Amino acid sequence: MQLTGAEIVIRCLQEEKVEYVFGYPGGSVLFIYDELFKQDQFKHILVRHEQAAVHAADAYSRSSQKIGVCMVTSGPGVTNAVTGIATAYMDSIPLVVITGQVPTAYIGQDAFQEADTVGITRPCVKHNFLVKDVKDLAVTIKKAFYLAKTGRPGPVLVDIPKDITTQKCDFHYPKSISMRSYNPVVKGHSGQIKKAAQLLLEAKRPMIYAGGGVILSDASDRLTRVTRKLGFPITQTLMGLGGYPATDGQSLGMLGMHGTYEANMAMQHCDVLLAVGARFDDRVIGNPAHFGQVARKIIHIDIDPSSISKRVKVDVPIVGNVPDVLDEILKLLEAADSKPDAKGLASWWKQIDEWRGKKSLQYKQGSDLIMPQYVVEKLYEVTGGDAIVTSDVGQHQMWAAQYYKFDKPRRWINSGGLGTMGFGLPAAMGARFANPKATVACVTGEASIQMCIQELSTCKQYRLPIKIINLNNGYLGMVRQWQQMFHGNRYSESYVDALPDFVKLAEAYGHVGLKIEKPADVEPALREAFVKHKNELVFLDILTDPTANVFPMVAGGKGLSEMILAEDL
C-alpha cells in the first residue's frame, strides 16, 4: 500500500511502540501533524518551547529505559531544540528527534524558516540524517531508533523536507537493521576481564568508581552484586547516583568537585580502581596530573573505546557493555580460590572511617534562615526517599545530589555533562509521563526555573502534579560562590534583582504556590505540598540563606585531595 511520507512517519513511530512524542508544530511539519491528528496510538505532548520538548523527551528516557521522541519544525524550531539535543548528547541519552525541513527544492535558498539542521546539530548528535527520498524514510527512522539505543546511546536526528512528507511510496518497516559501518562491541575481552578479576582480588586499598553508564545500561543490580561480593568501598559520579544504594554502608557518596571527603580521599589514595561506565571528567578527578601522582592500577569498563585512556591512562581497558562485563567478573570472582585481601581491606576501611569522621557534609540549621541543605534533607524524609528528583544547574543541583540519598537508579535526573539551566521543569514533565504514578520533585533555583518557566502552562494542560522546590537565595548561587572564593567578592551580575512573585506566578498558571521563609515551616509546607496537594502542581518558593555555599569543594585545576571544607572557612 502506498503511503505519504507523513503517514510513514506516524506508522514508524507506531511500529516502535512510541507512547509519547514531545513537540511543537510549525510550517514544515504540518502534514506530519495532520496525520498525527488522525491517530490515537501514541500521544503528542504540546510544550511551550522546543527546548522543553527535547528536555522532556530526554527525561522520559532517563526515568524509564525507553527512547525519548520529539518533533519540531524547521529553522527556529530546530535552533531552539539544540540546547536540549546537546544536553542529551553530553549525557548519552537515547533520543529520536524528528525535524521538519523546507521543501527539497528550497534547501540552500535561504527560504523562510530554513536552517542547515544537519550542519547545526552535527557536533551534538550521535548521528543525523537528511531524508532526500521518501523511499528512504522508513529505513532511516528505523536506523535512528537502532543507533539511539545501541552502543553508547545518544540523540539521533532525522530531518525531513516538507515535500517528502507529501510524496508517496510503499511502506515497509524493517524488522531489524544492520550497518556495515556500525558494530558496537558488547562482550568484553576475556583476557582483560581475567586480569581485572585478579587485580581486584590482590588489592589492598581498592575502590569502585561508578558513573552514568551503570544507569544507562541498567547494570545497577550487577554492580551491587559485585560490590557486595568484594566488600569494597564504592563512590558514584553525579550521573551515577542511584546505581548503588546511597544508604548502604559501602557507599562513600558522590565524588568530584563537590564530592564527600571520604570519596575523594579514597579515590586519590586507592591502589586498585575499578571504573565502571564513567569517564574521569574534569569535574570528577580534578587535575589529571595531580590524580596521576599516586600510583594505582586502573581497570576501566566502558562501551565507548574513546572514553578509555582519554584523560587518564588505564592499565586494564575493557570495552564492552557494562552489565555483560560485570557478569563475567562476578563469575570469575565466584569461581576464584582466593578471596579479597581481608587484612588489607580491614585497615583500608579503618582509614576510610577516619575520613568519614570529618563529616564533610555537616551544616548548621539555625532558627532564622533556612539552609538549603536542610530543605533537601526534609524533602528526602517527606518523600520517603522514593521520589524522582529532577534538578536544574547550580548550587541547588549539588545539594540535591549530596543530601537526597538515591537508592534506586533512574530516580535522579539532571544535566550533568552540559549543565543546562532550564532542564529541571521540563525534565520533571517527561519523568512524570514515563512514571505516571511516581512522586516527581524538581529541585531548582530562582534563576534556573525562569529559563523554562513557560512550561508551567504545559503542566496545567496535562495536569502534572509536579512539586517544584525553589531554593530561592536571590543569587546565581554557584556563580556567586565562585566570585566569593576566587574573584575577591566581586559579585559581577550574579544578583538577580526584580524577581517575580513566584506564588502569584504559579497561581496565574493555575497552580498552587507556597512561600516559605522560616526553617520551622519547611517540613509542614513540604507535607502540605506532597500530601494535601498530592494531585496538584505546587510551587514551593523557599527563601534560603543567600550566603550558603556548597562544600566540600575542589577548586578548578586542583587535585582531588585538595578539598576546601566548610570548616576551613
Partner 1 sequence: MRHIISILIENESGALSRVSGLFSARGYNIESLTVAPTEDASLSRMTIVSIGSDDIIEQITKQLNKLIEVVKVVDLSEAPHIERELMLVKVRATGKDREEMKRVADIFRGRIIDVTESSYVIELTGNGAKLDAFLDAIDRSLVLETVRTGVCGVGRGDRILKA
Residues at the site binding partner 1, with contacts judged by CB under 8 A: 118-119, 122-123, 126-127, 130, 147, 152, 179-182, 304-306, 309-310
Nearer to partner 1, 38 or 180 (CB): 180
Q: Exactly one of 143, 149, 162, 297 is catalytic; which is it?
A: 162
Beta strands in 24-154 (DSSP E): 43-46, 68-72, 95-101, 127-130
On the CB side of 26, CA atoms within 13 Å amount to 25
With H, G, I as helix, E, B as strand and everything else as coil, classify residue 363. Answer: coil
Active site residue 478: yes
Active site residue 162: yes
**Residue among 35 and 91 whose Cβ is closer to partner 1:** 91
Looking at the Cβ atoms of 176 and 181, the one nearer to partner 1 is 181
Catalytically annotated residue among 239, 257, 265, 478: 478
What whole-number distance in Å separates Cα of residue 155 and Cα of residue 92? 7
- Rounded least distance, CB 537 to partner 1, Å: 40
Cβ within 8 Å of residue 566, ≥6 positions away: 360, 362, 363, 549, 551, 552
**Beta-sheet pairing, 251-254 with 512-516:** unpaired
DSSP H/E element including 445? strand 440-445
Sheet holding 388-391, edge to edge: 412-413, 388-391, 440-445, 467-472, 538-543, 512-516
- Tell me whether residue 190 is exposed, middle or buried, using C-beta atoms within 10 angstroms of its C-beta: 0 to 12, 13 to 18, 19 or more: exposed
Active-site residue, 112 included: yes
Q: Which is nearer to partner 1, 310 or 358 (CB)?
A: 310
Minimum CB separation of residue 53 from partner 1 in Å reads 24
CB of 147 to partner 1, least distance (A): 6
* Annotated catalytic residue within 50, 262, 328, 377: 50
Q: What's the min distance (Å) between Cβ of 181 and partner 1? A: 4
Please report how close the Cβ of residue 123 comes to partner 1 at its closest, in angstroms: 5
Is residue 553 part of the annotated active site? The answer reads no
| Comparison of 310 and 405: residue with beta carbon closer to partner 1 | 310
Question: Least Å distance between CB 128 and partner 1?
Answer: 8
Whole-angstrom distance, CA of residue 211 vs CA of residue 239: 6
- In order of 71, 374, 395, 566, the CA distances from 548 in angstroms are 40, 11, 9, 10
- On the CB side of 543, CA atoms within 13 Å amount to 12
Task: Please identify, using beta-carbon distances, which residue of 306 and 347 lies nearer to partner 1.
Answer: 306
Marked catalytic residue, from 65, 113, 198, 351: 113
| List of residues 6+ apart from 154 with CB closer than 8 A | 88, 89, 92, 93, 94, 95, 125, 126, 127, 147, 148
Tell me which residues are annotated as active site.
50, 112-113, 162, 478
